[in-house]
Structure 1
Amino acid sequence: MSFLGNKAILDCLKKGKVIEAFEEQRIKNGAYELSLGEQVFLTNSGSKEIKNVEPQGVIHIEPGQFALLLTEETVKIPKDKIAFISIKAKIKFKGLVNVSGFHVDPDFKGKLLFSVYNAGPATIVLKRGDNYFPMWLAELSEKQNYKGTHINQNSIPSSPIEALSQGEFNSPQALMKEIGQSNSRITSLEKDNKANNYIAITALGFVFALLLKLAFDFYALDKGWDKAIEYNKKQVNIDSIINQRLLDKKQLLQEIELLTVKKDNLIKTK
């Protein structure tokens, strides 16, 4: 397999075998540069419908979003040749990645469809009519007939649109933002949980301290009551002893008084 150079590509174009109404200045570095056409489909579009781009109009492919891009040119690949397609480096460096096929079958006729993804950090702007898609041609050893389903393709088919319309596509930046927000919520919940644990432990400690104080107070009260009873018993004993002494003293005074009377009577008798 050998690739065609600029002169061989020009010869094919002049014979009308590859691209009608071609522009010779688009033949560069052994490839023909195809341009962005009228129809595009963007996953960041709210309508989820094919968008028709006006001549010289622009489209915006947001970060993390897919797009289906149809070429302006209709190509006709000869049966004895195969084409290889890509995206120009200056667009690739911005983050636009071709996720569709990289070759065109022999004998294919129609507009080419590129499925791309913006893996970069910024919005990529493309303009209708600008050259973004180089196409190389290579010789085959024998002729091949096209047996695919995209013959005479002149619009974006429904199948890739359905595949890209199943859900929302979030950019890596949006996903990182959501992860950051989730981490913030988790951190907040952890802080709340720690605060609740602290409050619970503090409350439990307070209740334990209160119960302990009540136990000591009850113990002290119980001991105090016992001491009071003991003190009263001692006081009663002391009062009993004093009363007994007073009675003994009274009885002694009575005996002394009686003896005094007897003494006086004896003296008078003499």
Structure 2
Amino acid sequence: MFWSGNKLHSKKKSLVPSHPDTAIDCASLVLTIGTEVYITPNSENDIKVKKTLTVEEPQFIIPKGQFALLITEEEVHVPYQNIAFISFKAKYKYKGLINVSGFHVDPGWKGKLTFSVYNAGPSDVVLEKGNPFALIWYADLDQEGIFNGDYANNQYVKKDKPITSISSDKVTDMTGDIFSPFKLKKDIEELKEKYNKEIIEIKKEVNAIEGKLLVRTGLLIFTFISLLIVIIRLLK
């Protein structure tokens, strides 16, 4: 059974212990954008490592057709006897952002959540540190194989070290060319522009050659006629 907003309110201090002021939206907790982000390069000039957001520069752009890694500000706890589900807020879905990193959080999870997103929309999306952008729902698991409430010794729970930042491994996995429709369209337009310029240059060269040929042909005709006149005069 999913938890209600009232239950989330009573359990909130244990679910997001470092952020007791976390908002509740109906039956979910609201998660905000943290201090780190990685965006796949849209050009050769773009940075190829994760970016740290600051008070002075809190905003970033996810270009259309590009992927990004976002980490939550909140460190989330999921009790051993529960499972959680995550999703973006609707307004970001309407802009074309797609969550491609999964939709659940394992029992026993402790740490920040990393979202892998893709901008499938027609425009760039501007986000900012601290923006409420995701929701998390909690649900109960059955008691199969659990004795005396000892959930911690269950082999089917997460016991990894808490995640606190976007790891270099995740960034490495996202590097490389992204052949999105928008990038392919841009490449095609650049090639078209390049070849149009080359065609114009070729036409200029052809016109120049044709001009030179006409001049030379005219000189040859003039020379031939002059020689012919000289020969006729000599024969008289």
Residue matched to 1:17: 14
User: What is residue 197 of structure 1 aligned with on the other side?
Assistant: none
2: distance between equivalents of 1:182 and 1:149? Answer: 52
Query: Who is 2:142 aligned against?
Result: 141
> How far did 1:111 drift?
0.5
Identity, % of aligned pairs?
A: 37
Distance in 2 between residues matched to 1:181 and 1:61, nearest whole Å: 22
Render the CA deviation track for 1:213-246: whole Å, top value 9, x for unaligned: xxxxxxxxxxxxxxxxxxxxxxxxxxxxxxxxxx
Note the C-alpha offset of 1:30.
0.5
Q: How does 1:259-270 map to 2 (within 5 A)?
A: none
Shift of 1:23: 5.0
Separation of aligned partners in 1, 2:22 and 2:73: 16
Give a deviation string over 1:29-49, Cα, whole Å, max 9, x none: 200010000011111272211
RMSD of the alignment, in Å? 2.6
CA contact (8 A) 1:61 1:67 kept: yes
Question: 1:122 — aligned with what?
Answer: 123
CA separation in 1, counterparts of 2:40 and 2:18? 32
In structure 2, the CA distance between the partners of 1:181 and 1:154, relative to structure 1 (3 Å rule), is closer
Cα drift, residue 24 of structure 1: 5.2
SS at match of 1:49: coil
Counterpart of 2:51 in structure 1 is 51
The higher-RCO structure (CA 8 Å, 6+ apart) is 2
**Contact 2:96 2:119 survives alignment (8 Å):** yes
Residue aligned with 1:107, SS: coil
Give the 3 Å change call, closer, same or farther, for CA 54–150 of structure 1 in structure 2. Answer: farther
Once the 2 structures are TM-superposed, how far is the Cα of residue 174 of structure 1 from its aligned partner?
2.9
What TM-score results when the alignment is normalised by the length of structure 1?
0.62
Q: What's the CA shift string for 1:137-178, capped at 9, x where partnerless?
A: 00111335676585311011122211111x222442231243
Secondary structure, in 3 states, of the residue corresponding to 1:70? strand
Distance 1:78 1:4 in 2: 13
Using a 3 Å threshold, how does the CA distance of structure 1 residues 148 and 9 change in structure 2: closer, same or farther? Answer: closer
Number of the residue aligned with 1:175 = 184
Q: Which runs of 5+ in 1 are unaligned?
A: 193-270
CA–CA distance in structure 1, aligned partners of residues 94 and 127 of structure 2:
14
2-structure distance, mates of 1:12, 1:169 = 42
User: Hey, what's the Cα distance between the residues in 1 that align with 2:180 and 2:98?
Assistant: 14
1:79–1:145 Cα contact (<8 Å) kept: no
Q: Which residue of 1 aligns with 2:6?
A: 7
When normalised by structure 2's length, the TM-score is: 0.70
In structure 1, give the amino acid aligned to 2:105.
V
Q: Which is richer in helix? A: 1
- Matched positions, count: 185
CA contact (8 A) 1:106 1:145 kept: no
Check conservation: 1:87, 1:134, Cα contact below 8 A: yes
1:162 to 160, 163, 172: 172
Q: 4+ runs of 1 displaced by more than 3 Å? A: 21-25, 142-150, 177-186
Instruction: From the CA coordinates, give the structure whose radius of gyration is larger.
Output: 1
Task: Give, in whole Å, the separation in 2 of the partners of 1:4 and 1:169.
Answer: 39
Question: What pairs up with 1:1-270 in 2 under 5 angstroms?
Answer: 2-13=1-12, 16-23=13-20, 26-44=23-41, 46-55=46-55, 57-142=58-143, 143=151, 144=154, 151-165=161-175, 167-179=176-188
